[in-house]
């Protein structure tokens, strides 16, 4: 599947808000998804992916007292090529700070959250997939419940991290789950490419959704484009609209 462009996307005719299969996705509760006492590990290709993929789940797990580990593969510093406002040097400092603020807005216990930063270069993860898998496996242990981006999400980095995470989880005996991100914005005609038989719906209440949306807006560098150099917003309005859905979908 080719990467989707959201530059001119409207709020219609995309999988996230029109696919008929969404109504029939079985509901799963937090305790079934992550058994009591199990550690949850969220693997984010870029800063912000941890909120977009699992911002609701992270809140629910934190409230239940689950140990949490976040692995940030890149610092997202290559997200604005050619930008005068957001150089790689500035973003390498600014984007991790945005992540700290986003996690604070989710209400996560920053004093006990184990947070690993990989320092890999974004937009080049597929070329280092083997090293990426070895790196991830170093921080997993048997019995972990792992969440990462879907291996067929349509973004090169997301796909590579999904494959590497799946391989690492299999090596150590961890449970692996995938979360689509950009794939939700494929045209509805492509909904047959989704593994609907693996999809489970985690319901979120109003306050959990509100905190997730508030956390997404912590990524100030991603909210505005830079027309002078042809850069659209990295978090466009259509994605922010999807963040307000009262559920998250996980492929188990």
Would you state the pLDDT for residue 95? Answer: 85
Pairing of strands 114-120, 68-74: parallel
Q: How far is CA 20 from CA 25, 188, 198, in A?
A: 10, 9, 16
- Structural domains in the chain? 15-79+86-251 (3.40.50.10320)
Would you state the pLDDT for residue 217? Answer: 95
Instruction: In whole angstroms, give the CA distance from residue 182 to residue 155.
Output: 7
pLDDT digits (tens, 9 = 90+) for 14-64: 999 999 999 999 999 999 999 999 999 999 999 899 999 999 999 999 999
In the chain, which residues have pLDDT < 70? 1-12
Contact 166, 176 (CB under 8 A): yes
pLDDT digits (tens, 9 = 90+) for 186-209: 999 999 999 999 999 999 999 999
Contact 78, 106 (CB under 8 A): no
Model-level pTM greater than 0.95? Answer: no
Pairing of strands 199-203, 247-251: antiparallel
Instruction: In whole angstroms, give the CA distance from residue 88 to residue 84.
Output: 10
Contact 58, 7 (CB under 8 A): no
């Amino acid at each position: 599947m080719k990467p989707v462009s959201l530059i001119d996307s409207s709020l219609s005719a995309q999988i996230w808000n029109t696919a008929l299969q969404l109504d029939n996705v079985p509901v799963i509760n937090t305790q079934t998804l992550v058994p009591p006492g199990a550690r949850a590990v969220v693997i984010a290709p870029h800063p912000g992916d941890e909120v977009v993929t699992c911002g609701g789940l992270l809140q629910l797990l934190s409230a239940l007292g689950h140990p949490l580990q976040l692995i940030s593969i890149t610092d997202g510093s290559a997200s604005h090529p050619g930008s005068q406002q957001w150089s790689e040097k500035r973003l390498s400092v600014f984007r991790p700070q945005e992540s700290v603020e986003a996690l604070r807005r989710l209400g996560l216990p920053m004093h006990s959250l184990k947070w690993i930063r990989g320092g890999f270069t974004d937009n080049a993860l597929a070329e280092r997939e083997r090293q990426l898998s070895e790196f991830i496996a170093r921080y997993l242990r048997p019995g972990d419940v792992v969440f990462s981006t879907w291996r067929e999400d349509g973004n090169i980095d997301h796909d590579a991290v999904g494959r590497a995470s799946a391989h690492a989880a299999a090596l150590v005996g961890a449970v692996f789950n995938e979360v689509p991100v950009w794939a939700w914005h494929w045209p509805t005609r492509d909904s047959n490419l989704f593994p609907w038989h693996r999809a489970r719906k985690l319901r979120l209440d109003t306050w959990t959704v509100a905190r997730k949306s508030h956390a997404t807006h912590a990524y100030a560098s991603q909210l505005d484009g830079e027309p002078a150099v042809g850069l659209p917003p990295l978090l466009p309005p259509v994605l922010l609209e999807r963040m307000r859905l009262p559920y998250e979908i996980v492929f188990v």
